[in-house]
Homo-oligomer: A and B are copies of this chain.
């Protein structure tokens, strides 16, 4: 087997074989530089007349961007290089010549890049984002597994609509109609009763005809649910979780953050506890700004930015009006016009990354709400069963992966947070 660039530091002074693609190449008199990309990193390979095969120098002239090559040489320490090493190259074996790679260092339009997303992800910046995404995913699993949660995958096909029917994808499930899941939460409540602390993490779907920088049609969501937890416990779990994720990226993805030119000083401040505002307090902030916001409404992107710009940490808004939240949100017993809900707004104007709250655990009220929301009581019989058989206090939340990646990477659009984004009007590649 060949060696990987990410491992070269372990092989200093040794001869290795690398396989990869030409990221860049240039000649300077007797010395030729090949910047090799193998997906695990970049390595400067130096061909010096007399120290490498003659044929390598001849073939070097044929190299083009993204040509596939095999290179052998000796690993040398080089503190000025990205990985701290370079290769004293000896051979060059061209495996496939690439002609006219579509993505050159010059500027391309967004549409062109998105059409060539399968090639664009090879670029340094896109690569860094994908690596940070993978680190965040890994941090999510480690956080919940480390806290005694049990992963329990939620189904994608559901007969029931849980957050309104207008944004649902529909498919024929043999003789029935099925919808693609918008949330695994209801299922996680059943799982919490079986496992105490449960979570799911999978793709969810919203058929939103919007082209904003915050929306994808397919996005991944992690949804923990804790039996016997209340709204306060829920916010505490969420803030520990977000602190942990950000900390993991800061610790393990320094190079990638540098590639993205991310200002990490703002991320370093993301430490629990986070500020927590009652909906009424958030409304006060907005009313002072005279933006036309009306008390009782949900926040738009601009409202979220105004609220979150008051703080240098993410901020919770809790106790949203019952009328603007989902049917399963528990009403505050003292004042049922407000609900035991909470959203977390990220810093720097990135908006909502978490939504959650405490669940309605009283059967009569839940059934009333299901009817009021015009949902199918029969399809949700199993869900109401959780209040018939061993009813329990339960809280949880959902964190949207792509918005979180966008925030931590400091991106201007969620489309770069996943290898193959699905957006309104785009399903290719």
Give chain A's interface residues, CB within 8 Å of chain B.
1-2, 4, 6-7, 19-21, 38-40, 66-68, 95-96, 98-99, 101-102, 116-119, 121-122, 126-127, 130-131, 133-134, 137-138, 141, 145, 148, 150-159, 169-174, 176, 178, 180, 187, 190-198, 202-203, 205, 207, 209, 217-218, 220, 227-228, 233, 379, 381-383, 385-386, 388-392, 418-422, 424-425, 427-429
Cβ B1 vs Cβ A379 within 8 A: no
Cβ B427 vs Cβ A178 within 8 A: yes
**Assembly CA distance A162 to B150 (angstroms):** 33
Do A150 and B131 contact each other (CB < 8 Å), given the known contacts A157-B218, A382-B428, A391-B68? yes
List of B residues within 8 angstroms of A99 by Cβ: 388
- The residue of chain B having its C-beta at the shortest distance from the C-beta of A170 within the complex is B171
**Assembly CA distance A6 to B145 (angstroms):** 13
List of B residues within 8 angstroms of A68 by Cβ: 390-392
- The residue of chain B having its C-beta at the shortest distance from the C-beta of A131 within the complex is B150
Cβ A145 vs Cβ B138 within 8 A: yes
- The residue of chain B having its C-beta at the shortest distance from the C-beta of A173 within the complex is B427
**Assembly CA distance A366 to B421 (angstroms):** 25
Known: A98-B390, A130-B194, A155-B422. 12 other contacts (CB 8 A): A39-B227, A95-B392, A118-B382, A119-B389, A122-B194, A131-B150, A152-B419, A153-B220, A155-B421, A156-B203, A156-B205, A176-B427
**Assembly CA distance A148 to B7 (angstroms):** 9
Cβ B66 vs Cβ A429 within 8 A: no
List of B residues within 8 angstroms of A102 by Cβ: 389
Copies held by the complex:
2
Interface centre among A133, A171, A386, by most chain B C-beta atoms within 10 angstroms, is A171
List of B residues within 8 angstroms of A20 by Cβ: 196
Cβ A156 vs Cβ B19 within 8 A: no
Contacts A/B (CB < 8 Å), 10 sampled: A38-B227, A95-B392, A96-B390, A127-B195, A130-B194, A152-B419, A178-B427, A187-B419, A191-B419, A381-B429
Cβ A228 vs Cβ B19 within 8 A: yes
Cβ B389 vs Cβ A66 within 8 A: yes
Cβ B121 vs Cβ A190 within 8 A: yes
Rounded to whole Å, the gap between the CB of A116 and the closest CB of chain B is 8
Cβ B228 vs Cβ A428 within 8 A: no
Cβ A217 vs Cβ B157 within 8 A: yes
Cβ B173 vs Cβ A150 within 8 A: no
Cβ A150 vs Cβ B122 within 8 A: no
Cβ B66 vs Cβ A390 within 8 A: yes
Query: CB < 8 Å: which of B176, B209, B382 contacts A174?
Result: B209
List of B residues within 8 angstroms of A209 by Cβ: 174
Cβ B155 vs Cβ A196 within 8 A: no
List of B residues within 8 angstroms of A172 by Cβ: 169-170
List of B residues within 8 angstroms of A176 by Cβ: 427
- The residue of chain B having its C-beta at the shortest distance from the C-beta of A39 within the complex is B196
Cβ B156 vs Cβ A218 within 8 A: yes
Cβ A197 vs Cβ B427 within 8 A: no
Rounded to whole Å, the gap between the CB of A409 and the closest CB of chain B is 15
Do A4 and B196 contact each other (CB < 8 Å), given the known contacts A98-B390, A151-B134? yes
Interface centre among A96, A169, A205, by most chain B C-beta atoms within 10 angstroms, is A96
The 7 closest A-B pairs by CB, nearest first: A39-B196, A382-B429, A118-B190, A96-B391, A66-B390, A121-B194, A19-B228
Rounded to whole Å, the gap between the CB of A272 and the closest CB of chain B is 16
Cβ B419 vs Cβ A190 within 8 A: yes
Query: CB < 8 Å: which of B171, B391, B418 contacts A171?
Result: B171
**Assembly CA distance A382 to B120 (angstroms):** 11
Cβ A195 vs Cβ B141 within 8 A: no
- The residue of chain B having its C-beta at the shortest distance from the C-beta of A137 within the complex is B151
**Assembly CA distance A44 to B414 (angstroms):** 50
Do A130 and B195 contact each other (CB < 8 Å), given the known contacts A96-B390, A101-B389, A180-B171? yes
Rounded to whole Å, the gap between the CB of A113 and the closest CB of chain B is 13
List of B residues within 8 angstroms of A428 by Cβ: 159, 379, 382
Cβ A40 vs Cβ B424 within 8 A: no
